[in-house]
Amino acid sequence: MTVNKTNIRSLAQEELISYFETLGEKKYRAKQVYEWLWKKQVQHFDAMTNLSLELREKLAAHFSLPALTIDATQYSSDGTIKSRFKTYDGHFVEGVLIPTDTRHTACVSSQIGCSLSCKFCATGYMDRKRNLNFDEIYDQVALLNQQSERVYGQKLRNIVFMGMGEPLLNYKNVLKSIEMINSADGMHMSHRRITVSTAGVSKMIKQLGDDKVKFNLALSLHAPNDKKRDEIMPINETNNLANLVEALNYFYQETENEITLEYILFRGFNDSMKDADELTKIYRQIPTHMVNIIEYNPIDNAKYEKPDADVVEKFMAHLSKNRVNVHLRKSRGKDIDAACGQLANKDGMEPAQPVAGMA
What number of other Cβ atoms are within 10 A of residue 168's Cβ?
23
Contact (CB, 8 A) for 263 and 294: yes
Q: Which residues, 6 or more positions from 348, have their beta carbon under 8 angstroms from its beta carbon?
A: none
Q: State the Rg of the chain over Cα.
A: 22
What number of other Cβ atoms are within 10 A of residue 217's Cβ?
25
Cα 199 from chain centroid (whole Å): 13
Beta bridge partners of 111: 131
| Segment (H or E) for 359 | none
Catalytic residue among 21, 35, 94, 107: 94
| Segment (H or E) for 160 | strand 158-161
Residue 172: Cβ-neighbour burial (10 angstroms; 0-12, 13-18, 19+): exposed
Active site residue 166: no
**Smallest Cα–Cα separation from 164: which of 296, 302, 345, 349?**
345
Catalytic residue among 107, 114, 121, 340: 340
**Smallest Cα–Cα separation from 225: which of 269, 275, 268, 179?**
275
Query: What is the C-alpha to C-alpha distance for residues 241 and 261, in angstroms, rounded to an integer?
Result: 12
3-state secondary structure of 73: strand
Active site residue 94: yes
* Half-sphere exposure of residue 200: CA atoms within 13 angstroms, side-chain side: 27
Report the catalytic residues. Answer: 94, 340
